[in-house]
Amino acid sequence: MRHKKKGRKLGRRVGNRRALLRNLACQLIIHKKIKTTDPKAKELRSFIEPLITLAKKDSLHARRLVTKKIPKKNVVRILFKEIAPLFSDRPGGYTRITKLGLRDNDRAPVSIIEFVESVEGLEKQDSEVIKIEK
C-alpha cells in the first residue's frame, strides 16, 4: 500500500532524483522560466515553493536551510536578493505551470514552469511603455 508515500519517483533512484530536483531548481532560479516534462514540473513546484517561503524570512537560519537543499552559493544569493522580495506580500503559489502539449519524439507531455511575479512584472512594464508611447 502507498500510505504516507508522497512525491513522484520520476523513474530514478533517490540520489538521482534529488540531484535532478536541485538542478531544475537552480535553473529555474537563474533563468526564471524552464521547459520540462509535466511530472518534473509538478514535482519541482513542491520542491521550490517551500524554499521561496524560507527565503522571504531572510535570516541566517533560513539561508542555511535553503543551502542544505541547494548547495550553490550564487543561486542561493539570487533567490534571497532577487526572487524573495518579489513575493514578500504573497502567501504562496509562487510558480505557474503552463502545459505546451506533447513532445514530438517520445510524446511526453511538456510544460513551462515559471515564477508568477516576474511574468506579471514584465506585463506591467509593457503596459507602462504603451501608455508612455500614446
**What pTM was computed for the model?**
0.85
Does the pLDDT at position 134 exceed 50?
Answer: no
How confident is the model over 15-65, as pLDDT tens digits? 999 999 999 999 999 999 999 999 999 999 999 999 999 999 999 999 999
pLDDT of residue 71: 93
Please check whether residue 79 is in contact with residue 22, taking contact to mean a CB–CB distance below 8 angstroms: no
- Residue 36, SS3? strand
Say how many CA atoms lie within 13 Å of 124 toward its Cβ.
6
CA distance 46 to 49: 6
pLDDT of residue 119: 55
Write the single-letter amino acid at 25: A
Does the pLDDT at position 118 exceed 80?
Answer: no
